[in-house]
């Protein structure tokens, strides 16, 4: 077993703990089933807690922005590093989230269960009246943003989970998750050579598969952006900065895979993607937190991120990111990625 704090058990393959709090925020909370409680969709009731460094949380920030849900629920941002206990709000004045009043996200989990036994993960939706976490099930969370929060979507918001594509999308997203999103971790946290070699082969087989799929279509599901693209993007955005070297995913860099590199730049230059991507925080998280992989905790200066702004020519395939809709407006005040930390910004530490 391994975890995202960077512990690697010698002789073992990486297995992700996927036992999340499965409660859901639903337009009709009576639809909650089994052990998963339904909570009501309600404006100003919840706070989304994320960390810009985390690819799973980055999904939630992108989807929230694409759908225009900033007016429905607020967002708290943890710093890029954490210890074994929890993500912390060290970016905020006084080191406390200004809405929740917490120093650590762990406090929201303990407000729900004082003996909460599992990892403290982002993204997490927190109930403001009780200051307790509602769910940290990142995969279901963003689908619910698309399907349950429709009353609060902005005018012109894209349909990120089109009903007529869901069966195919679910298959695509499952493979993207198991082989690519999680595949890079399987490489990075492999505890022995054979496990690493097998993980490496699986990862690049899948990257070749999505590359072939994207040769003739602008986006994974066709002519417009869907959640499948969001899920692939957050791994591609971290590939050269972290996964290629730190996680030994080094057959080729993203910049050496022409189709995927063009696709990734196309998304990055689309509102909602690049403007939620913070390269220094991404690098600081992985190289500092994973101390067993990088004992010195030295953070690389490179790579040059200005290349993310170069022409991609993907528009030649046709299609439009938002279809008949419109791009989101400016990033909400206080949620901007500092100019020095986006593409082309300073890389100094």
Helices (H), ranges, 237-313: 258-268, 279-289
Q: How far apart are CA 102 and CA 95, in angstroms?
A: 8
Among the listed residues 54, 78, 187, 249, the single catalytic one is 54
**Residues in the annotated binding site for glutathione:** 87
Count how many residues are written for the chain. Answer: 349
Please name which of 254, 216, 256, 209 lies closest in space to residue 233, comparing C-alpha atoms. Answer: 254
CA distance 189 to 294: 12
Distance CA 160, CA 163 (A): 9
Between helices 227-236 and 166-175, what is the axis angle to 10°?
10
Q: Is 349 a catalytic residue?
A: no
Catalytic member of 161, 185, 263, 287 = 185
Annotated binding site: 87
CB 250 within 8 A of CB 226: no
If 0-12 CB within 10 Å is exposed, 13-18 middle and 19+ buried, where does residue 117 land? exposed
Our answer to whether residue 185 is catalytic in this structure is: yes
Name residue, tokens 């512990």: 7
Active site residues: 54, 185
């Amino acid at each position: 077993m391994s975890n995202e704090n960077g512990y690697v058990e010698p002789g073992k393959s990486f297995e992700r703990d996927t036992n999340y709090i499965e409660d859901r925020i639903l337009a009709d909370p009576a639809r909650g089933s089994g052990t998963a409680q339904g909570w009501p969709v309600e404006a100003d009731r919840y706070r989304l807690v994320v960390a810009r460094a985390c690819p799973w949380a980055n999904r939630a920030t992108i989807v929230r922005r694409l759908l225009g849900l900033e007016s429905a629920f607020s967002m708290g941002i943890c710093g890029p590093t954490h210890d074994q206990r929890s993500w912390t709000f060290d970016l905020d004045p006084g080191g406390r989230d200004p809405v929740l009043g917490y120093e650590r996200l762990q406090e929201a989990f303990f407000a729900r269960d004082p003996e909460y036994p599992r990892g403290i993960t982002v993204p997490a939706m927190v109930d403001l009246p009780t200051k307790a976490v509602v769910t940290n099930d990142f995969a279901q969370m963003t689908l619910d943003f698309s399907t349950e929060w429709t009353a609060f979507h902005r005018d012109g918001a894209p349909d990120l989970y089109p009903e007529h594509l869901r069966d195919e999308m679910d298959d695509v997203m499952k493979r993207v998750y198991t082989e690519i999103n999680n595949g890079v971790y399987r490489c990075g946290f492999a505890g022995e050579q054979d496990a690493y070699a097998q993980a490496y082969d699986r990862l690049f087989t899948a990257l070749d598969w999505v590359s072939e799929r994207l040769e003739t279509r602008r986006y994974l599901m066709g002519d417009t952006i869907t959640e499948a693209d969001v899920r692939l993007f957050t791994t591609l955005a971290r590939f050269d900065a972290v996964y290629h070297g730190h996680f030994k995913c080094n057959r080729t860099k993203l910049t050496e895979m022409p189709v995927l590199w063009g696709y990734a730049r196309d998304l990055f230059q689309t509102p909602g993607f690049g403007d939620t991507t913070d390269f220094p925080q991404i690098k600081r998280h992985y190289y500092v937190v994973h101390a067993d992989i990088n004992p010195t905790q030295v953070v690389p200066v490179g790579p040059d991120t200005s290349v993310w702004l170069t022409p991609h020519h993907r528009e030649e395939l046709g299609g439009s990111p938002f279809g008949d809709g419109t791009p989101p407006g400016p990033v909400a005040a206080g949620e901007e990625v500092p100019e020095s930390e986006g593409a082309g910004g300073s890389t100094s530490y």
